[in-house]
Structure 1
Amino acid sequence: MKVFVGSFYHEATTFNPFLTEIKDFTFLEGDKSLERFASTELFRNEEIEIIPSIYATAISSGILSEKTYRFFADKMITKLKEAIDIDGIWLHLHGSMEVENIGSGELALLKEIREICGYDIPISLTLDFHANLKDEFHQYVNIVRSYRTVPHIDQAETEQITAKLLIECMKNKTKINPSFIRVPIILPGEKAMGNADPLKSIFQKLEEIEQIEGIISANYFNGHAWNDTVNTSASVLVVPKSESYECLAEEWTKKLADYVFSRRHEFTYNVTVLEAREAIDQALSKKRKPVFIADSGDNTTGGAPGINTLLLKMFKERELGNKRVLISAIFDKYSFEKINAYQVGDFITENVGVGHDENSTPVPLKGKLIAKGDLLGFMSSANDKVGEVCVVSIGNIDVVVANRGDSFTTLNHFKRAGITIEDYDIIAVKQGYLFDELSAVSEGEILALTPGATDQRLEKLEFHHIIRPMFPIDNI
């Protein structure tokens, strides 16, 4: 048997004004791409021939330019056209990719794939929990499974599960048609954490449904709130074992959707949430370190550009005493290039801040360049160098200036940037919820309600295309 595999993974935020381009992706093709998939070993153990295509992934950001989508889609489609007599297709996608002039990138890609291979070849997908799925999406796929952890730490496990299900489908030559229902809920991911109810109970419910004879996968998608599209919302997708169980899948899809909607009022934060100045006050009052402040409105893991200087300005206005503060990281390519021209140890006087809006106004940096380092990628490319940083010390505040938008989500991000995390009392990061490695060393987590492309206060954003009514924007 032969399986065609690949990944084209991106989560778009329509409130980010900057397009995502080819250079923003970590890109591998051919046999090198297979090293990134946990499914590779499973297929090889079953003596299945793997036809590799591409591995292309980028941190969440603005919508893809049409040119960028076509570059990666054409790479994958060309490989598919060259493949001969394949028995199945295995892909890892996100589910919330938006492309200029096209819309849903995943749906467009699947339509192109079906035009080439028809509908008899099964397609198995690994999808992100924050996918926004179009109503007709499920008509182009057979097997789907989403992550069951938030923050996401089970991508490899999910890839293995979707690979196993595809192998069984190919061996048994079964026809599989998923069932799908949209749930009219839109909320920030920070209100749906895997270790807290109601999501914890919803994940348990999915496991229970998958124990029912005839059901091989049950999925709840929270959706990605910062996308103003018709497919932005939560949803439920259930996969039957075969055609004979389709009615059962439809029944459980409805039950699961009702269950999720009945618990909509329970979605809330499970960390301290404060306005920006109050977040700084509380962080300064903490005796143990480090305390992390999430710059939630400029959350690059949720698609914001990472350009805001608001927290830096606020910290500069405060009396910090003996507290040391790290701002990680502000994206300003022009400022980075100017600072990078200096040598470590030099005293510099430069500005940081692109001046796109009032939240990213330039801030003077007068101090010493104390480090230069690497900027690492996100999630499955977290060990890949995707850019560079300079660290400038201005008194009690150290500022990381990066040549692209990204977030420090692991301890290695700080190490590779030349930063010793133990030196700081307060660390500001471009995140919403804190990622696991940072949470494990944190002595306090504060989500600051800052403005920006990923503002937690959805009522402050202008939605024109989402389907209404939608909870909690509408009282339903």
Structure 2
Amino acid sequence: MTQPRIAIVGMAIESSAYAAHRAGYRDFPVLTGAELIARYDFLAPGRPLADAAEWIPVFMARAIPGGAVLREVYDDFKGRIVEGLREAGDVDGVYFDIHGAMSVVGLDDAEGDLVTAVREVVGPDALIAAPMDLHGNMSETLALALDLPTCYRLAPHEDAWETKERSAERLVEWIRRGEKPSTAWVRVPILLPGEKTSTRVEPARSLYAQLEDVEKKPGISDLGLWIGYAWADEPRCHATVMVTGDDEAVITAEAERIAGELWDARDDFAFVGPPGSLDEAVDAALAHGAAGGEKPYLISDSGDNPGAGGSGDVTWTLTRLLADERLTGDGAPLVYVASIFDQGAIEQLFAQEPGEQVDVVAGARVDHRVSEPIRIRGELVSLHEGDPAAGRIAVIGVGGIRAIVTEFRKAYHDVADFHAIGLDPEAADIVVTKIGYLEPTLYDVAKGWTLALTPGPVDQDLERLGHSRIVRPMFPYDAFDERPDLSAAVIRGRRYVRGFAGTASA
């Protein structure tokens, strides 16, 4: 067989329906050509996959999570993808690099719309593989268009690049076989936040740990368990199991078994970290320090986590911390608070010098449904430039608090983010950051932790947000008198051969 031709395209973001933020051009770094190939280490010269196919880098745009994408931005990027595929000519496959929970203003199923446009260009015979986040939502349109869907198996997503490489390997394998796999697909009526489904703890740990061994069974090529994305509000929001392979009996049995295990464990899912209110979190952190506990104590400001779709400028938590005299008075512990963004406030702060007293109103310019802009009066500790995400950064000291204000949205999810602005997390008594479960480097340094259940666009209290468009009944919103139908639909050649045919899109 001649070397297969595989196009690389993608657009990825995780979008909260409850975030006032709208993702625009600045949110999406764009990669094409050699830069796009370089994104994937497994396509580096000398790597087996690099020589296994002719990889055609068309277009990739990826943003950190946030709100829905502006329609004009999506339409532009979709047009570039379509035109790039046309220029590429005939291809044997498409590596469709997406997240799975992108929302676009005015669209219900953004990835379904995008993959439909891709399929129209490349035709029915090209294979489409999609490496996805396990927090993706699988619509019927997307499921029918994909030949090889797969997803991460760890949350936090420490296997993201391993999954992307596995997806590319499977795509090359099936193209060389000259065949298309079948897929067994089960919708599971469960919708839970990621902080209750982390693979660091049970039951998700065991559910996902088995997948690698199951994948080795004869007749199975790949399998994915999507726990779904809880902060969207669309009919496609639910958990999903999909198993691909060439033995329909085997893939069906395994898809139904895994879906059943997920359903049976539904009541066992709990927060990955000790949860509590913000007041309880601060009390616990101060008690930890008073008892001689090691530094730092981490507090997750989970309701406005940019890593899950938060707007990133909700001031609810900072307002309460600045009002707490235990943190701002004499002898206060050292507390890093990350972060809020406000371009206007940054302009004002950069007109002053470190060491000067500042008085600035910041935050809640984008998302003021939960809280209002906050007045910060204190010492300008430091100024920083050059962060590709945050732009310019200012640190303001108020008693023991070091409040971080950025020009643009920034997720402080790595110790390196703090070190870059002269703040050592291990020197702080308390680190408060907009995050849910702790990403690896923060997890490693934390000597105590509370997952603060704060309000915001990614509120852990899903019922407080008020989903209205998900398909009901859905756990945990509804009680189930009996087990739901967890039988698998089987897709062969992008057509149902059993199940779901004729049902409404979900």
TM-score for the superposition, normalised by structure 1: 0.94
Residue 268 of structure 2 corresponds to 266
Task: Go from structure 1 to structure 2 and tell me whether the alpha carbon gap of 1:386 and 1:332 turns closer, same or farther (over 3 Å shift).
Answer: closer
The 8 Å contact of residues 49 and 169 in structure 2, kept in 1 or not, is answered as no
The 8 Å contact of residues 14 and 102 in structure 2, kept in 1 or not, is answered as yes
The 8 Å contact of residues 306 and 330 in structure 1, kept in 2 or not, is answered as yes
RMSD: 1.7
Residue 173 of structure 1 corresponds to 178
Residue 284 of structure 2 corresponds to 282
Residue 402 of structure 2 corresponds to 398
The whole-number CA distance in structure 2 between the counterparts of 1:207 and 1:47 is 24
**Count of aligned pairs between the two proteins:** 466
The whole-number CA distance in structure 1 between the counterparts of 2:405 and 2:52 is 48
**In the alignment, is residue 223 of structure 1 matched against residue 228 of structure 2?**
yes
Residue 298 of structure 2 corresponds to 292
The whole-number CA distance in structure 2 between the counterparts of 1:421 and 1:52 is 39
**In the alignment, is residue 468 of structure 1 matched against residue 448 of structure 2?**
no
**For residues 298-325 of structure 1, what are the alpha-carbon distances to aligned partners after superposition, in whole Å with 9 as ceiling and x for unaligned?**
1111101012222222222222343111
**For residues 166-219 of structure 1, what are the alpha-carbon distances to aligned partners after superposition, in whole Å with 9 as ceiling and x for unaligned?**
111111111123222211111110001112111111112322321211111111
The whole-number CA distance in structure 2 between the counterparts of 1:90 and 1:316 is 48
The 8 Å contact of residues 307 and 360 in structure 1, kept in 2 or not, is answered as no
> Structure 2 stretches of 5 or more lacking a match?
481-506
Pairwise CA distance, 1:30: 1.5
Q: In structure 1, which of residues 136, 157, 165 is the aligned counterpart of residue 162 of structure 2? A: 157
The 8 Å contact of residues 67 and 310 in structure 2, kept in 1 or not, is answered as yes
Residue 237 of structure 2 corresponds to 232
Q: In structure 2, which of residues 233, 247, 250 is the aligned counterpart of residue 248 of structure 1? A: 250
**In the alignment, is residue 6 of structure 1 matched against residue 9 of structure 2?**
yes
Task: Go from structure 1 to structure 2 and tell me whether the alpha carbon gap of 1:180 and 1:388 turns closer, same or farther (over 3 Å shift).
Answer: farther
Residue 370 of structure 1 corresponds to 381
Residue 21 of structure 1 corresponds to 24
Alignment map for 1:310-389 (pairs within 5 Å):
310-318=316-324, 319-320=326-327, 321-354=331-364, 356-357=367-368, 359-373=370-384, 384-389=388-393
Higher mean alpha-carbon deviation, 245-254 vs 228-237, is at 245-254
User: Match for 2:377: what amino acid?
Assistant: K
**In the alignment, is residue 421 of structure 1 matched against residue 425 of structure 2?**
yes
Q: In structure 1, which of residues 458, 468, 473 is the aligned counterpart of residue 462 of structure 2? A: 458
The 8 Å contact of residues 20 and 63 in structure 1, kept in 2 or not, is answered as yes
**Percent identity of paired positions between Structure 1 and Structure 2:** 30
The 8 Å contact of residues 375 and 387 in structure 1, kept in 2 or not, is answered as yes
**In the alignment, is residue 92 of structure 1 matched against residue 92 of structure 2?**
no
The 8 Å contact of residues 305 and 331 in structure 1, kept in 2 or not, is answered as no
The whole-number CA distance in structure 2 between the counterparts of 1:68 and 1:95 is 18
The 8 Å contact of residues 295 and 447 in structure 2, kept in 1 or not, is answered as yes
Pairwise CA distance, 1:44: 5.1
**In the alignment, is residue 211 of structure 1 matched against residue 213 of structure 2?**
no
> Structure 1 stretches of 5 or more lacking a match?
377-383
The 8 Å contact of residues 22 and 68 in structure 2, kept in 1 or not, is answered as yes
User: Match for 1:152: what amino acid?
Assistant: H
Task: Go from structure 1 to structure 2 and tell me whether the alpha carbon gap of 1:203 and 1:374 turns closer, same or farther (over 3 Å shift).
Answer: farther
**For residues 134-193 of structure 1, what are the alpha-carbon distances to aligned partners after superposition, in whole Å with 9 as ceiling and x for unaligned?**
123221111121111110111111111111111111111111232222111111100011
TM-score for the superposition, normalised by structure 2: 0.88
User: Match for 1:326: what amino acid?
Assistant: Y
Pairwise CA distance, 1:353: 2.6
The whole-number CA distance in structure 1 between the counterparts of 2:9 and 2:317 is 39
